[in-house]
């Protein structure tokens, strides 16, 4: 009886971890992400435009004002 209890205790962690991994993978397949297919490309375009604007702002700050 005692050896059975030890066996259950030893297997509890790996079995629990496997179950959690299975649940997480199952959730990702069912559309667990926050953005749809089209939303990601729009956000990328917006972020690229913002980066370009920041580059322009930085370039104008570095130019000498007296020239």
Return the domain boundaries, the chain. 2-29+38-62
Res. 30: pLDDT tops 80:
no
Report the pLDDT averaged over residues 41-57: 95
Nearest to 47 by CA among 32, 21, 55: 55
**DSSP label at residue 31:** T
pLDDT of residue 34 exceeding 60, the answer is no
Tokens of 45: 């375009």
pTM of the model: 0.38
The pLDDT score that the predictor gives to residue 2 is 86
């Amino acid at each position: 009886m005692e050896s059975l209890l030890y066996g259950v205790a030893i297997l509890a962690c790996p079995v629990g971890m496997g179950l959690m991994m299975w649940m997480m993978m199952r959730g990702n397949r069912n559309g667990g992400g926050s953005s749809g297919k089209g939303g990601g490309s729009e956000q990328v375009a917006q972020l690229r435009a913002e980066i370009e604007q920041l580059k322009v702002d930085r370039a104008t700050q570095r130019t000498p004002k007296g020239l």
